[in-house]
């Protein structure tokens, strides 16, 4: 198979060094200006360039990873699709992202007014990932999230009232007020968490992907083509459950997409200081599945990748690992004083959105 999305899944020309703390992020469309010293890590931090990537999986599995070979070798695969959308689709994406942003801003307001308690982790800045992926799903598809879960639930169709009521601990919340911010759940919408422990949702998502395959292949239900999206962060990719589940999903060719929202931070730990190879997408081919890197600040690019990998999972071709390079505009949680954030950053992105 081939990915038509390779125009934005291509590797950076100098893969690891570009992600040092002193350089702009990889994609041109980020258009960072000025030194991103806000990343907070020592300027002396440097990584050795890695040798060119070689696919080291058995021939029988190579079809799954051929696109990755192209990506890794810097070859452009001819795009069969494009980033064009209809006006209605554009409005749907815009509305969903604005809903996510305003919802989270309102949470912050309520939290600082003392109306909301416990840990509350906001999603500001990462909306293009949730919208780009989840708006392509059918109702019966499943979403598994983390503690940064409000916007994933909203994108999947849980009403803002049900999510906000949950945050206020009300019986009208989507978990009857008993779950709170980190435990969004809706059976009706197939949102199955909301997990406070990092990596906890990945095996749950892997398990959720299994019935679809079982029903189609064992019970011979032709229409069983549900897919599962597992969202989690860059820091979580250093946990064992991530690797165990990549292995199982590839082995069983499960209809799951592992969506890494790489916002460069795990609480206050820079991604570059915490992982041996910062390019997370490369871990896919190590397990025999494609790994794709995409600009997670661009909803159309995310959507194009999402379209392809969701269709791939739906037709039974197995899992994909997608690394979305994004950024959170607020602190890790509302209890975080935001001291690692660059106050100019949010304005910068808003300006880009308006000027493009």
Ligand X SMILES: Cc1ncc(C[n+]2csc(CCOP(=O)(O)OP(=O)(O)O)c2C)c(N)n1
∠25-350-348 over CA atoms, to 5°? 50
State whether residue 32 is helix, strand or coil. coil
H-run or E-run covering 265: strand 265-266
| CB contact at 8 A, 191 and 184 | yes
| CB contact at 8 A, 117 and 170 | no
Question: Binding marks (x or -) toward ligand X, 62..81, rule CB under 6 A?
Answer: --------------------
- Cα separation, 49 vs 256, in Å, equals 31
- Residue 307's nearest CA partner among 126, 151, 91, 83 is 83
Strand 256-262 versus strand 265-266 pairing type: unpaired
Residue closer to ligand X, measured from CB, 226 or 236: 236
State whether residue 306 is helix, strand or coil. helix
Map the footprint of Mg ion across residues 251-280, applying CB under 5 A. Answer: 263, 265-266
Q: Kindly state whether residue 148 participates in binding ligand X, applying the rule CB under 6 A.
A: yes
| Cα distance between the two ends of the chain | 33
CB of 328 to ligand X, least distance (A): 6
Q: Kindly state whether residue 186 participates in binding Mg ion, applying the rule CB under 5 A.
A: no
DSSP state of 307: H
CB of 199 to ligand X, least distance (A): 6
Number of H helices and E strands in the chain, helices first, is: 12, 9
Q: Kindly state whether residue 104 participates in binding ligand X, applying the rule CB under 6 A.
A: no
- Cα separation, 11 vs 157, in Å, equals 34
Question: Binding marks (x or -) toward Mg ion, 208..237, rule CB under 5 A?
Answer: -------------------------xxx--
Kindly tell me which residue out of 10, 21, 236, 320 binds ligand X, with binding defined by CB under 6 A.
236
- Residue 260's nearest CA partner among 57, 179, 251, 239 is 239
CB of 271 to ligand X, least distance (A): 7
Strands (E), 145-227: 185-186, 191-192
- Cα separation, 316 vs 311, in Å, equals 9
Q: Kindly state whether residue 198 participates in binding ligand X, applying the rule CB under 6 A.
A: yes
Q: Kindly state whether residue 235 participates in binding ligand X, applying the rule CB under 6 A.
A: yes
The contacts of residue 252 (CB under 8 Å, 6+ apart) are 210, 213
Residue identified by tokens 């590839």 is 250
Kindly tell me which residue out of 112, 197, 347, 351 binds ligand X, with binding defined by CB under 6 A.
197
Residue closer to ligand X, measured from CB, 125 or 318: 125
Kindly tell me which residue out of 45, 81, 267, 353 binds ligand X, with binding defined by CB under 6 A.
267
CB of 233 to ligand X, least distance (A): 2
Residue closer to ligand X, measured from CB, 10 or 130: 130
Q: Which does 198 bind (CB under 5 to 8 A by kind): Mg ion, ligand X, none?
A: ligand X
- Only one of the segments 48-56, 85-93, 259-267, 346-354 lies at the binding site for ligand X (rule: CB under 6 A); that segment is 259-267
Map the footprint of ligand X across residues 290-349, applying CB under 6 A. Answer: 332
Kindly tell me which residue out of 149, 234, 279, 295 binds ligand X, with binding defined by CB under 6 A.
234
- Only one of the segments 2-10, 157-165, 231-239, 316-324 lies at the binding site for ligand X (rule: CB under 6 A); that segment is 231-239
CB of 220 to ligand X, least distance (A): 39
- Cα separation, 100 vs 150, in Å, equals 8
- Cα separation, 12 vs 351, in Å, equals 25
CB of 217 to Mg ion, least distance (A): 35
Q: Which does 197 bind (CB under 5 to 8 A by kind): ligand X, Mg ion, none?
A: ligand X
H-run or E-run covering 259: strand 256-262
Q: Which does 332 bind (CB under 5 to 8 A by kind): Mg ion, ligand X, none?
A: ligand X
- Which residue, judged by CB position, is nearest to Mg ion in the bound state? 233
Q: Where do contacts with Mg ion occur on this chain (CB under 5 A)? A: 233-235, 263, 265-266
Q: Where do contacts with ligand X occur on this chain (CB under 6 A)? A: 148, 196-198, 232-236, 263, 265-267, 332
């Amino acid at each position: 198979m081939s990915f038509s999305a390779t125009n934005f899944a291509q590797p950076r020309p100098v893969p690891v060094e570009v992600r040092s703390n002193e350089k702009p992020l990889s994609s041109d469309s980020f258009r960072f200006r000025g030194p991103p010293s806000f990343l907070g890590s020592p300027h002396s931090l440097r990584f050795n360039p890695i040798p060119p990537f070689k696919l080291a999986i058995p021939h029988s599995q190579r079809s799954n990873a051929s696109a990755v070979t192209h990506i890794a070798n810097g070859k452009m695969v001819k795009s069969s699709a494009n980033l064009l959308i209809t006006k209605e689709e554009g409005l749907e994406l815009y509305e969903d992202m604005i809903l996510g942003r305003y919802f989270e801003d309102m949470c912050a307001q309520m939290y600082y007014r003392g109306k909301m308690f416990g840990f509350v982790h906001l999603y500001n800045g990462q909306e293009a990932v949730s919208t780009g992926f989840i708006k392509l799903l059918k109702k019966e598809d499943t979403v598994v999230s983390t503690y940064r879960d409000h916007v994933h639930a909203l994108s999947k169709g849980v009403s803002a009232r049900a999510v906000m009521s949950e945050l206020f601990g009300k019986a009208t919340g989507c978990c009857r007020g008993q779950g709170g911010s980190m435990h969004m759940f809706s059976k009706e919408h197939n949102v199955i968490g909301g997990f406070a422990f990092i990596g906890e949702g990945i095996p749950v998502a892997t398990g959720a992907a299994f019935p679809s395959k079982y029903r189609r292949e064992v019970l011979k239900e032709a229409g069983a083509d549900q897919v599962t999206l597992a969202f989690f962060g860059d820091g979580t990719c250093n946990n064992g459950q991530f690797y165990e589940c990549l292995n199982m999903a590839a082995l069983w060719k499960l209809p799951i997409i592992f969506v890494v929202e790489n916002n460069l931070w795990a609480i206050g730990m820079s991604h570059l200081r915490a992982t041996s190879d910062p390019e997370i997408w490369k871990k896919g081919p190590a397990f025999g599945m494609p790994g794709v890197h995409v600009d997670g600040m661009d909803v159309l690019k995310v959507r194009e990748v999402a379209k392809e990998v969701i269709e791939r999972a739906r037709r039974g071709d197995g899992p994909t690992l997608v690394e979305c390079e994004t950024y959170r505009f607020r602190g890790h949680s509302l209890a975080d004083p935001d001291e690692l954030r660059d106050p100019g950053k949010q304005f910068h992105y808003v300006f880009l959105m308006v000027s493009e």
